[in-house]
């Protein structure tokens, strides 16, 4: 006998299912089910993953959902005489899609009520809406959550009959099935008996299901944990909310036949119904929108015109005939392929978005593989010339590929990007475009916290534990749950703790809720809501689809990534600040390409704040790479990546770059491909070309190879391609040893490789940021500070770095600061024009933007002369804000001799109305402060507490004399220490890193008043000083100085605490 499970939910029912769709599909295949339906709560969240997994398991994935309906009463609950905590929840209708119409109706129905939701997960459909969208759908009477159970408990058999008749009216008699489930529960059996009786009476077919909530019986524990999380209770007190037993798992046809031996037709009907359910996600019916074109044009002709105009503009201006001819040829080739693949609409839509940005003066740049396309370059979508840089078009688009090309647009983060997103919404309608989702899953900390709560751990213990759970990339043998618990002082031999460990591990990667992807947008011809349900995002004005970007890509839905890039916002702000304060025009497209200062600075690794080249690892490799032209920067951006590091490409490249090793090629035919990177493959395009040249792969085949070896690699597919690769190379006369070498190069690198086009796009931004920092430090720093958080360093470090480069940074001042950081022009001693940076109110912790705006507005009318006047004229300012402003010294300019404490003294009085009796006291008398000025240490603590930084001296400076007496070197003096010499440094920890590629080594950056010292801590030492290294804000480190190719670092042998300041300095840790 065959059996098809037609009512199951996955973990995408968010806390009401315990297994991933993949596990369900695999288990269904294992127990011999030819098909299976997934019906998650109020959505089709898990369907794409279920569809893909089921396809590979050769199980037909049927699609449906459980729909909450308001007009059908509440779900059955335990009787009133029984103690329970079951909340009132609306009945859910189990619906299955028969055909595409059914699926589209299901999506529209869900979208309709989801978009009405004011609180996540509370939306319900009305019966009228169900009637409107009932075509093509099959309705099941449901299990305990369903309409039959509810009617039976609330009104008996007559009410149940009435409900079924209602369903018949809604869906038609052929499309209503009376569901029977058996979980060995007598109450459920009573329902089943009633259901059999009703089905017989109404002539409806019976349908056996198991109401599956998890793949295997053991997963019931996870469902119980989820139930507690959902109901905010603990396992010990959840009572009847928990599962009664563990029977809601996938059962084999034989088991179901045995359980329903008295109702064989109920099992047989599953097969019959399956044969009626023709719909799977393979038939999604998605269409990318058409671009509106003028009469007499086709989209292809319109695209051709726009592209050729672009070729003229972009290549014509370069006065290089050869390049122009080459570009025209390439564009022609690309246009032909685009026409063949019917992608003209897609290019035009992206072109339209870019055009909108230009019109609105929003900086935009395409990145990713789109930069390989001359059409994209000509249309102004990308800024890298793929013809000039000889980039490989096939990496972007090829005939063999069955997916859509990927165009990502970088936009300034913040309001500008939002403007573009809203433009797309407006353009394609509320139901025509939406953001892709981001599934938030349980990770280390969230898992430990939630499971701990459920098991009854108190808040204190949970805090202690979650602070110890590692967040870094690299996980050593000690980075286990067991170790975390032991460090938190728990006895891991205790039964409850063992259970805790086990559960934390098991709920990893299970979905928790749906978030919004940072930039992926999907657009659809006509109605997107008929392709996938839409729901409101937490952010007002945003709509998200129920699938994440991978799901969309797998189902062939075109996505345009509108990514917010902090550095783009910085560049955009610089475009405004530089002409205003430096009185020189600036055009990012026209920056001098080979600026000496920029390359010297890069070679010195003096790159704090610069895009992509500021990290610790980048700094450590810059002096070795010693870039002196743009392509070196492209390599630099790409080389500090897991791919080249894991593939052991970085060191050979650096040695060859420094002339320490000859440039060699695995095969002479590879020389033209690898020449630019000194014989070392660094980019994905090179890998593709290697396959094309060495094994005569076509462009599409080569791209296939890259994807097969990519992130989600499949062993069997890799083997097939490897055989093909070897065959191709053998045909080309490449010997076995060389073949092996080439294969090793390709396989070790393919996984993490970086496209050259992408590196080039990033390198352009990196160069622009370096240029601006070198030549317009004040403007660049102000823009950088105004667009935090971004980059690698905290604002405090950025300020100190700018100060070390000679910029005067002025503190926040009530009479001079704006919300953002600003530039103040001044004259130097010799009359030269200087620019000072004035910190903005956005750095005052807890100060609302509205209050800051009110200050600026009131100040513009007339400056404030006293604290009481400030309080009087800016009523928006709350007392806590005034206190913080006083503490950080922002009110010191309000009168002579005012210091932070005296301002505090005045604020306390001004913010509290004194009443008529004390009002008569003279202002002066009352305002004489008896408080002492803050000490240096108190000022530091107040600065960091109130603004996260100090514009005054670095905390280390105050202790320098004492530190010098202890023989502790300054960071700037390390260059004078000989390689291999034992030395000591101390500083404020500004970064802790444990990269995945560094085998457990930890890298610390210690900042003092002169610069940053780099510390390397080996894994053993880290284990010994783990608490100290992770918790202390200031450290003293002793060890051997390494000076390799002017890269300075200290290999720590001892780590100690050092008492410098209690200031709350920040560190950028384990990112």
Partner 1 sequence: MPFACLFIPDFPVQAVVRQEPELRGKPVAILEGAAPLTRVSAANGAARVLGIEVGMTKLQAEACAGVERRWRSLSQEATAQAALLDCAWAISPRIEEAGVGGDGCTPGTVLLDITGCEKLFGSEEKIADDLRRITAEIGLDANVGIAANPEAAVCAARGFAGITLIPPGEEVNILGRLPLLSLGVPVEILETLHRWGIHTCGEFAALPEIAVIERLGQAGQHWERLSRGSDPRPMLAKDFPTHFEECMELEFAVDLLEQLLFVLNRLLDQLCLRLRMHILATTEIKVTLTLQAEDSRRKEPVLHIRTLRLPMPVAQSKMLLKLLQLDLQARPPNAPVTAVHVLAIPTRSRTRQLGLFLPLSPEPEALEVTLARLQGTVGEDRVGAPELLDSHRPDAFRQRRFVLPEATLRISFGERPSRTALRIYRPPMAADVQLQDKCPVIVSCGGGRKPVLAFAGPTRTNGDWWSETPWAREEWDVLLPALRPKFQAENAGSEQAEKALYRIYRDLHSKRWFVEGVYD
Summarize as ranges the residues that interact with partner 1 (CB under 8 A).
81-85, 183-186, 221, 224, 235-237, 239-240, 242-247, 455-458, 460-461, 488-491, 494-497, 499, 883, 887, 901, 904-905, 908-909, 912, 914, 918, 921, 926, 930-932, 934, 938
* Radius of gyration of the chain from its Cα atoms, rounded to whole angstroms: 33
Kindly state the smallest distance separating residue 1's Cβ from partner 1, in Å: 17
What is the residue whose two structure tokens read 């396809």?
Answer: 55
> Quick one: 904 or 1006, whose CB is closer to partner 1?
904
- Nearest in space to 251 (alpha carbons), one of 31, 35, 38, 23: 31
> Quick one: 938 or 973, whose CB is closer to partner 1?
938
- Nearest in space to 992 (alpha carbons), one of 615, 483, 638: 615
Kindly state the smallest distance separating residue 259's Cβ from partner 1, in Å: 11
Distance from the Cα of residue 327 to its chain's centroid: 36
What is d(CA 1005, CA 997) in angstroms, rounded to the nearest whole number? 18
Kindly state the smallest distance separating residue 916's Cβ from partner 1, in Å: 13
DSSP-assigned letters across all residues of 328-365? HHHHHHHHHHHHHTT-HHHHHHHHHHHHHHHHTT---E
> Quick one: 226 or 749, whose CB is closer to partner 1?
226
> Quick one: 857 or 932, whose CB is closer to partner 1?
932
Kindly state the smallest distance separating residue 84's Cβ from partner 1, in Å: 6
> Quick one: 439 or 451, whose CB is closer to partner 1?
451
> Quick one: 225 or 1015, whose CB is closer to partner 1?
225
Kindly state the smallest distance separating residue 912's Cβ from partner 1, in Å: 6
Pairing of strands 822-827, 833-838: antiparallel
> Quick one: 325 or 931, whose CB is closer to partner 1?
931
Q: Is 594 exposed, middle or buried (0-12, 13-18, 19+ CB in 10 A)?
A: exposed
> Quick one: 247 or 701, whose CB is closer to partner 1?
247
Kindly state the smallest distance separating residue 9's Cβ from partner 1, in Å: 21
Residue 438 is given by DSSP the state E
* Helices marked H in 31-174: 47-57, 100-114, 127-132, 147-171
Distance from the Cα of residue 378 to its chain's centroid: 30
> Quick one: 87 or 980, whose CB is closer to partner 1?
87
Q: How many CA atoms lie within 13 A of 798 on its CB side?
A: 29
Kindly state the smallest distance separating residue 471's Cβ from partner 1, in Å: 23
What is the CB neighbour count within 10 angstroms for residue 617? 17
Kindly state the smallest distance separating residue 495's Cβ from partner 1, in Å: 6
> Quick one: 74 or 498, whose CB is closer to partner 1?
498
Kindly state the smallest distance separating residue 286's Cβ from partner 1, in Å: 44
Q: Which structure tokens are listed for 818?
A: 């704006």
Contacts of 874 (CB under 8 A, 6+ apart): 851, 854, 855, 858
What is d(CA 396, CA 392) in angstroms, rounded to the nearest whole number? 8
Q: Which strand ranges, in their side-by-side order, compose the sheet holding 833-838? A: 809-810, 833-838, 822-827
Kindly state the smallest distance separating residue 496's Cβ from partner 1, in Å: 6
For 484, 492, 498, the CA distances from 495, given in Å and listed in that order, are: 16, 8, 5
- Nearest in space to 811 (alpha carbons), one of 935, 948, 938, 608: 948
Kindly state the smallest distance separating residue 490's Cβ from partner 1, in Å: 6
What is the CB neighbour count within 10 angstroms for residue 420? 23
Q: Which structure tokens are listed for 811?
A: 């503190």
> Quick one: 340 or 912, whose CB is closer to partner 1?
912
SS3 880: helix
What is d(CA 779, CA 576) in angstroms, rounded to the nearest whole number? 9
Kindly state the smallest distance separating residue 83's Cβ from partner 1, in Å: 4
First to last CA, the chain: 54
> Quick one: 240 or 1054, whose CB is closer to partner 1?
240
> Quick one: 208 or 544, whose CB is closer to partner 1?
208
What is d(CA 332, CA 3) in angstroms, rounded to the nearest whole number? 56
Pairing of strands 433-441, 543-548: parallel
Kindly state the smallest distance separating residue 231's Cβ from partner 1, in Å: 12
Q: Torsion over CA of 354, 356, 362 and 366, rounded to 10 degrees?
A: -10
């Amino acid at each position: 006998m065959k059996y098809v499970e037609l009512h199951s939910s996955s973990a995408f029912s968010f806390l009401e299912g315990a297994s991933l769709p993949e596990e369900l599909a695999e288990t269904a295949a294992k127990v011999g089910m030819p098909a299976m339906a997934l019906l998650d709560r109020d959505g089709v969240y898990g369907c794409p993953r279920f569809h893909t997994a089921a396809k590979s398991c050769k199980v037909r994935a049927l699609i449906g959902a459980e729909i909450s309906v308001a007009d059908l009463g509440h779900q059955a609950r335990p009787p009133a005489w029984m103690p329970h905590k079951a909340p009132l929840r609306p009945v859910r209708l189990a619906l299955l899609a028969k055909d595409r119409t059914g699926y589209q109706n299901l999506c529209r129905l869900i979208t309709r009520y989801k978009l009405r939701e004011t609180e996540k997960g509370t939306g319900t459909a009305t019966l009228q809406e169900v009637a409107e969208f009932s075509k093509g759908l099959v309705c099941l009477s449901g299990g305990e959550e369903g309409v039959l159970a509810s009617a039976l408990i609330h009104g008996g058999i007559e009410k149940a009959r009435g409900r079924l008749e209602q369903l018949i009216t809604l869906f038609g008699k052929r499309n209503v099935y009376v569901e029977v489930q058996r979980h060995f529960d007598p109450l459920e059996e009573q329902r089943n008996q009633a259901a059999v009786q009703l089905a017989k009476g109404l002539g409806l077919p019976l349908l056996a299901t198991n109401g599956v909530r998890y793949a295997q019986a053991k997963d019931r524990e996870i469902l119980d944990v989820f139930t507690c999380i959902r109901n905010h209770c603990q396992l010990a007190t959840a009572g009847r909310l928990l599962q009664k037993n563990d029977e809601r798992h996938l059962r084999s046809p034989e088991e179901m036949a045995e359980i329903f031996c008295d109702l064989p037709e109920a099992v047989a009907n599953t097969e019959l119904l399956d044969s009626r359910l023709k719909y799977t996600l393979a038939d999604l019916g998605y269409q990318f929108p058409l671009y509106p074109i003028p009469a007499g044009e086709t989209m292809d002709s319109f695209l051709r015109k726009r592209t050729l105009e672009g070729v003229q503009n972009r290549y014509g201006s370069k006065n290089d005939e050869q390049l122009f001819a080459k570009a025209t040829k390439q564009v022609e080739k690309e246009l032909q392929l685009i026409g063949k693949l019917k992608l003209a609409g897609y290019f035009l839509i992206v072109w339209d978005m870019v055009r909108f940005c230009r019109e609105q003066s929003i900086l935009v740049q395409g990145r990713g593989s789109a930069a390989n396309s001359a059409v994209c370059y000509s249309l102004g979508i990308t800024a890298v010339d793929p013809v000039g840089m000889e980039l490989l078009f096939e990496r972007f688009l090829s005939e063999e590929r069955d997916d859509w090309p990927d165009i990502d647009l970088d936009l300034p983060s913040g309001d500008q990007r939002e403007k573009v997103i809203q433009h797309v919404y407006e353009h394609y309608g509320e139901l025509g475009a939406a953001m892709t989702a981001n599934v938030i899953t349980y990770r280390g900390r969230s898992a430990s916290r939630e499971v701990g709560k459920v098991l009854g751990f108190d808040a204190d213990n949970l805090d202690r534990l979650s602070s110890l759970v590692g967040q870094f990339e690299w996980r050593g043998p000690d980075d286990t749950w067991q170790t975390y618990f032991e460090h938190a002082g728990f006895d891991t031999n205790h039964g409850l703790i063992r259970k805790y460990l086990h559960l934390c591990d098991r709920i990893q990667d299970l979905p928790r809720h749906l978030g919004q992807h940072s930039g992926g947008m999907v657009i659809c011809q006509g109605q997107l809501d008929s392709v996938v349900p839409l729901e409101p995002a937490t952010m007002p004005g945003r709509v998200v689809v129920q699938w994440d970007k991978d799901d969309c890509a797998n189902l062939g839905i075109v996505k345009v990534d509108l990514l917010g890039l902090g550095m783009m916002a910085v560049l955009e702000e610089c475009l405004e600040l530089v002409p205003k304060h430096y009185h020189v025009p600036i055009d990012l497209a026209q920056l001098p390409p080979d600026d000496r200062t920029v390359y010297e600075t890069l070679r010195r690794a003096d790159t704090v704040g610069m895009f992509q080249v500021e990290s610790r690892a980048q700094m450590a490799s810059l002096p070795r790479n010693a870039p002196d032209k743009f392509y070196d920067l492209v390599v630099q951006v790409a080389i500090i990546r897991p791919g080249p590091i894991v593939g052991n490409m970085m060191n050979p490249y650096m040695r060859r770059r420094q002339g320490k090793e000859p440039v060699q090629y695995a095969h002479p035919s590879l020389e033209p491909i690898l020449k630019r990177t000194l014989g070392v493959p660094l980019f994905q395009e090179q890998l593709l070309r290697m396959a094309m040249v060495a094994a005569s792969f076509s462009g599409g085949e080569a791209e296939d190879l890259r994807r097969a070896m990519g992130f989600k690699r499949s062993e069997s597919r890799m083997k097939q391609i490897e055989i093909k690769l070897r065959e191709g190379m053998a045909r080309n006369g490449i010997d076995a040893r060389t073949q092996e070498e080439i294969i090793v190069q390709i396989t070790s690198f393919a996984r993490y490789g970086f496209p050259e086009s992408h590196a080039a796009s990033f390198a352009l931004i990196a160069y622009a940021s370096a240029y601006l920092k070198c030549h317009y430090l004040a403007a660049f720093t102000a823009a950088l500070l105004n667009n935090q958080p971004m980059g690698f360093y905290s604002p405090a470090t950025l300020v100190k770095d700018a100060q070390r480069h000679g910029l005067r940074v002025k503190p926040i001042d009530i009479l001079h600061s704006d919300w953002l950081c600003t530039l103040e022009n001044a004259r130097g001693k010799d009359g030269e024009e200087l620019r000072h940076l004035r910190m903005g109110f956005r750095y005052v912790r807890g100060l609302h933007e509205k209050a800051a705006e009110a200050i600026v507005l009131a100040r513009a009318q007339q400056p404030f002369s006293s604290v009481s006047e400030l309080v009087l004229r800016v009523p928006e300012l709350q007392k806590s804000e005034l206190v913080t402003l006083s503490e950080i010294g922002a009110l010191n300019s309000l009168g002579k001799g005012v210091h932070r404490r005296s301002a505090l003294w005045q604020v306390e009085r001004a913010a509290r109305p004194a009443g008529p009796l004390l009002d008569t006291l003279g202002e002066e008398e009352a305002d004489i402060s008896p408080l002492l000025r803050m000490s240096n240490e108190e000022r530091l603590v107040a600065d960091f507490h109130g603004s996260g930084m100090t514009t005054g001296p670095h905390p280390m400076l105050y202790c320098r004399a004492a530190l010098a007496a202890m023989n502790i070197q300054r960071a700037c003096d390390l260059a004078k220490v000989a390689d291999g010499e034992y030395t000591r440094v101390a500083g404020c920890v500004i970064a802790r890193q444990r990269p995945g590629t560094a085998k457990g080594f930890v890298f610390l950056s210690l900042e003092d008043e002169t610069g940053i010292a780099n510390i390397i801590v080996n894994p053993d030492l880290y284990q010994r000083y783990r608490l100290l290294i992770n918790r202390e804000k200031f450290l003293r480190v002793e060890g051997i100085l390494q000076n390799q190719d002017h890269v300075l670092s200290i290999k720590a042998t001892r780590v100690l605490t050092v008492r410098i300041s209690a200031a709350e300095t920040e560190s950028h840790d384990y990112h």
